[in-house]
Structure 1
Amino acid sequence: MPRAYFETVNPATGAKIAKYGLASIDEATKKLRRAKTAYEKLWGKLSVRERAGYLPKLATSLRSRKREYAELITTEMGKPISQSLAEVEKSAWTAEVYAENAARWLGEELASTDAKLSYVAFEPLGVVLSVMPWNFPFWQVFRFAIPAIVAGNTSVLRHSNVCPGSSLAVERAFEEAGFPEGVFSSVITSHEIAAKMIGSSYVQGVSFTGSVEAGRSIGEMAAKNLKKFVLELGGSDPYIVLDDADAEKAATVGASARLICSGQSCIAAKRFIVTKGVAKRFFDAFIKEFEKKKLGDPMDPKTDVGPLATSGQLKALDLQVREAVRGGAHLSMGGRRKGGRGAFYEPTVLDRVKRGMKVMSEEAFGPVAPIYVAKDEEEAIEVANDSEFGLGSSLWTSSGDKARNLASRIESGIVFINDLVKSDPRMPFGGIKNSGIGRELSKYGLREFVNVKSVNIFGIEGVAASPPL
C-alpha cells in the first residue's frame, strides 16, 4: 500500500514548510516493540536515581538548541518567538526539578500494620503512549514524558500533525542527552493508526491532551483494554475580579493571561467575571492593556499575538464572536480577521455578554476576551462554576480570608489568587468535570503511571525498610 503524505503550513504566511510521510501500523508497532524491549531489558530495572541522572543532560541538550527549537515551534504553529523561547526553557527547568526531586517523590512510604514491615512501593508500568496537541509542542510533551520516564516507563509519542518537526526535535533531544534507544521515540502517523496503538498489547498506559470529544474516545479505548489513562482536555478558565481587588493590576495581568499562546492555551483566562463595584475601572484598564498588544510576525520579538495555528481555528473563533454580537454582546474592540495572509485575528474584547453565549460556555481558543459583570461575589462564583470545564481559575481580592474561602468554592483543579494561572513542575496540574482525569507534574504526576504496590512482610525479625531518599 503506498505511503500517505501530508504537508505542514506556516500559519503566519500560509507557506508550505515540509512534507511528511505517515507511518503504517507495522512501523508504529515496531516503535512500541522497541520501547517495550528497552523497558524490560534496561530502563525499568534502573533505580530512580540512575534514571534521574539523565535529566540534567536533557536540560543541557534543550538549552543548547533553544533558539533553533523556538524558531521551529514558531514556524509550525505561530507562537510569538519570545514565548517559544520560554517554552523550551521551561522544559529544561522541569528536567532539573525532577532530577532533584524524583527519588524523594517516588520513595517507599512506610505504613503501620500488623506486619513486621509494611510499605508502599511505586513501580513502573511499561510502555506509555502519549498523544499530544500542537499548542505547546515541547512543553506538553516534556511535562508528561519527564515524570513518566523517570518513574521507569518508556514512551512513544504521537504528536499533532500540525507540528511533526517538533515531534522529531523532541526525540532528538532525548537522544542527544544519552537516553538509551527505545526509552523515548516519536511516530508521525494518522489518527486511525494512533487509535490502533492504544489497543496494542505493548502499551500499558495512555496520556492525552486535546479536545473533550477526542479525549472521551481515547479514554473509552483505553478503558476497554483496561489501561491506565490521563486526560487533559482544556478549559474555559474564569478570571474573577472582586470589588476589593487591585483593578489596574488585575487588568494588566488579565490581558497577558488571555493572550498566552495568542489565546490558544488550555489555561488562558477565557471568561472575565468582574463584580459591579470594580467593573468600570477594570474594563477601562483592560481595554488600554489590550490596545498595547502587538499583533504581527511571530518571529518579531516585540510581537505579543501571533496567528492562530490553523485557518479552521480562526473560523471557529470568528463564529463564536459573531454569535455573541448577534445575541446582544457589545464589540468593544477587534472582532475581525487581520491581513490577507496567515490566520491572524485581532485581539477582541466583548462586554455585555450573557451566560449561555458560546464565548462563555465553550472554550474560545484565540485572542477574544468576554467580560461579564456580576452583581456581587456570590454571582461571580456562581457564573464561574457554570461551566462544563474545571481546569484553572484566577481570583483577585485583597482579603486573605476571602481568598481561602472562595478558593475552596471554585470548581477547578487549579486556583491562582492575584496572578494568572500557570503550570509549575512543583505543583500538580489537571482539572475536573470535562477538563480531564488525572494529574500531571509534581509528585502526583510522577505517580500516575506506576504500580502502587503494597508490600507486607511477616515472620522475619529485624527486617529493615529501605533507607530514606
Structure 2
Amino acid sequence: MPIATVNPANGETLKTYEAMDEEELERRLRLAEATFRTYRTTAFADRARLLNRAADLLDEDRAEIARVMTTEMGKPVRQARAEAAKCAKAMRWYAEHAPELLADERPAESDVKDSGASHALVRYRPLGPVLAVMPWNFPLWQVVRFAAPALMAGNVGLLKHASNVPQTALYLEDLFHRAGFSEGCFQTLLIGSGAVDEILRDERIKAATLTGSEPAGRAVASTAGEMVKKTVLELGGSDPFVVMPSADVDRAAEVAVTARVQNNGQSCIAAKRFIVHSDVYDRFTERFTEGMKALKVGDPLDEETQVGPLASEQGRADLEELVDDARRGGATVLCGGERPDGPGWYYPPTVLAGLGREMRIHREEAFGPVATLYRAADLDEAVLIANDSPFGLSSNVWTREAAEVDRFVRDLEAGGVYVNGMTASHPAFPFGGVKRSGYGRELSGHGIREFCNITTVWHGA
C-alpha cells in the first residue's frame, strides 16, 4: 500500500511520500535510544508542562488538523474537530494525574516486617522506546491515547501510522516537537507494514502497542513473543447492543443510530449487533430503521453531513461482500444495502434482519455503517447471542432492571459494559477487550502502567 493521502470522497490522490530508507530508520532508532537515557530522568512537572503545551497547540490547530483528517480518511469534519478536542483533553488529564498514578506504592507494614525488610516499596519505571502501530480510523486519538501516558511515564515513542494518513502522522511528530519535547521523544516512521517486523526485532525497541486488524495483531504478537517483549493489542470488535423490555426504547433506538454510524461506522467500539427482546423488537426496529434512513450522507467537509465515505475502496468492497453474503443467505435488508452511483467510496446506512449463524457477518466485523438485528426471547438468549462472537471489546445494554444489569455485567464477555448509553472511551477508564479483541489496557492508571517496569525495592533490616 503506498504512503499517500487519497481523498475517499472522490478517490483523488493528493500527496504521496517515499518510505524512509534504512539509514534514516537507523538514525531515528539511535536517537530514540539516546533520548530515552536522559528523558527517563526528567521530573513529572517538566513532562506535564510539555504535554500541556502540546494540548494548547492542538486546540489552536483544531480546525486545520480536522480538515486534514477528513481529507485523508473521510470522517465528518465536525467529528474530526471533536476528536482533536478529545485528544487535548486526554493530554491534560495525564499531565495532571500521572504523578499519582505512578506514585511509589508502600506495602502493608506487617508484610514488610514479615519479609525481613526495614522498609520496601514498589516503583514504576519507564521501559524505553515503544513502537506504536496505529490505524487510520481515529488517526489522532488512537495515537494520543498511547503517547500521552507513555511520555508522562518517561518512555519515548516511535509511531508507525497507517499508510493512508501520512499527513496526520507527520503532524503528530511536529506537534510534540513544537511543544518542546526533544526530537527523539516522539518520532513518526514513514514506512510500510512490511518493515514493522524488523524494527520490532531491534533490541532498542523495548515494547509495542498495536491497534488494528486481527492479522496485524497476530503478526506483532508473534514477533514480540519470540523477542520476549511486552505488547498491548486492541483489535477488532463486533459489540452487542442489547435492548430489554424495561428500557426507554425510543431513546435506545436514537442512541443506537449514533452508536452504529459514528466515524462512518468505522469504529472498533461501534455497536454492530443489535439484540432486542421480542416484546419491544418491532418498536425498536421501526424507530431504528427510520433513524438510519434519515441520516445525511455526503461530503464529509459539509458541516451538515452525518455519514461520509468509507476510508478506502477495498474497505467498501469488503463491506459489500458481507452484506451480499447475508442477502444470499436469506437476510432481509430493511434499508440501504446498495452502493450509490457517483465518485467516492460511499456506502449507505444499512440495516439487516433475519441473520443466521452461517452468515459471514455474524462472525466477522462489519467496518462501515451496517447494522444487524437479532430477536431474543428472553435475557438468557440475549446473553447467548451477545457472546456468540469471536470478539469481546465492549457492549451496551438497555434496561431499568437492576437484576438484569447485574446479570449482564457478570456474563457478557467484553472489556466494557455500558448501561443505558453507548460505548465511549475516556482517559479515566481502562479501555481494551478480551477474546480476539486483544489484550492489555489503554487509558486510566492501567494504561500508563502497561509500559512500566514495576520494580520491587527492598531494604534489609
The within-5 A match list for 1:367-382 is 367-382=369-384
Match of 2:191 among 185, 189, 192: 189
Equivalent residues of 2:5, 2:167 under 8 A apart: no
2: distance between equivalents of 1:354 and 1:269? 18
Equivalent residues of 1:24, 1:193 under 8 A apart: no
The within-5 A match list for 1:262-281 is 262-281=264-283
Equivalent residues of 2:9, 2:346 under 8 A apart: yes
Unaligned runs of 5+ in 1: 460-469
In the other structure, the counterpart of 2:234 is 232
Match of 1:18 among 7, 15, 20: 15
- Offset of residue 223 of structure 1: 1.1
The within-5 A match list for 1:37-436 is 37-40=34-37, 42-112=38-108, 113-114=112-113, 115-436=117-438
Equivalent residues of 1:240, 1:395 under 8 A apart: yes
Equivalent residues of 1:391, 1:430 under 8 A apart: yes
Distance 1:5 1:372, change over 3 A: closer
Equivalent residues of 2:4, 2:166 under 8 A apart: no
SS at match of 2:374: strand
Deviation track 1:435-463 (CA, whole Å, cap 9, x = no partner) reads 0010000000000000000111123xxxx
Equivalent residues of 1:230, 1:437 under 8 A apart: yes
Equivalent residues of 2:275, 2:373 under 8 A apart: yes
Distance 1:57 1:6, change over 3 A: closer
Deviation track 1:66-101 (CA, whole Å, cap 9, x = no partner) reads 001000000000000011001000000000111111
Equivalent residues of 2:3, 2:166 under 8 A apart: no
- Offset of residue 58 of structure 1: 1.1
SS at match of 2:206: strand
Equivalent residues of 1:355, 1:383 under 8 A apart: no
SS at match of 2:268: coil
Equivalent residues of 1:413, 1:430 under 8 A apart: yes
Unaligned runs of 5+ in 2: none
SS at match of 1:111: coil
Equivalent residues of 2:339, 2:347 under 8 A apart: yes
- Offset of residue 407 of structure 1: 1.3
Equivalent residues of 1:271, 1:369 under 8 A apart: yes
- Offset of residue 356 of structure 1: 3.5
- Offset of residue 391 of structure 1: 0.3
Give the length in aligned residue pairs.
Answer: 455
SS at match of 1:308: coil
- Offset of residue 5 of structure 1: 6.3
Distance 1:25 1:194, change over 3 A: farther
- Offset of residue 354 of structure 1: 2.0
2: distance between equivalents of 1:290 and 1:400? 30
Select between 24-33 and 4-13 the one with higher mean Cα deviation. 4-13
Select between 100-109 and 7-16 the one with higher mean Cα deviation. 7-16
Distance 1:7 1:50, change over 3 A: closer
SS at match of 2:146: helix
| Alignment TM-score, normalising by the size of structure 2 | 0.97
Distance 1:90 1:362, change over 3 A: same
SS at match of 2:361: helix
Amino acid at match of 1:49: A
Deviation track 1:120-169 (CA, whole Å, cap 9, x = no partner) reads 10000000010101001000000011101110000110100010010001
What is the RMSD of the two structures over their aligned residues, measured on CA atoms? 1.1
SS at match of 2:121: strand
Equivalent residues of 1:320, 1:364 under 8 A apart: yes
Amino acid at match of 1:153: N
Distance 1:439 1:381, change over 3 A: same
1: distance between equivalents of 2:238 and 2:35? 40
1: distance between equivalents of 2:159 and 2:405? 39
2: distance between equivalents of 1:313 and 1:355? 23
Amino acid at match of 2:397: L
Question: 1 or 2, which has the higher helix percentage?
Answer: 2
| Alignment TM-score, normalising by the size of structure 1 | 0.95
Equivalent residues of 2:10, 2:344 under 8 A apart: yes
Distance 1:428 1:5, change over 3 A: closer
SS at match of 2:90: helix
2: distance between equivalents of 1:29 and 1:261? 36
Amino acid at match of 2:31: R
Distance 1:134 1:6, change over 3 A: closer
2: distance between equivalents of 1:85 and 1:357? 37
- Offset of residue 339 of structure 1: 2.8
Equivalent residues of 2:7, 2:73 under 8 A apart: yes
2: distance between equivalents of 1:328 and 1:447? 48
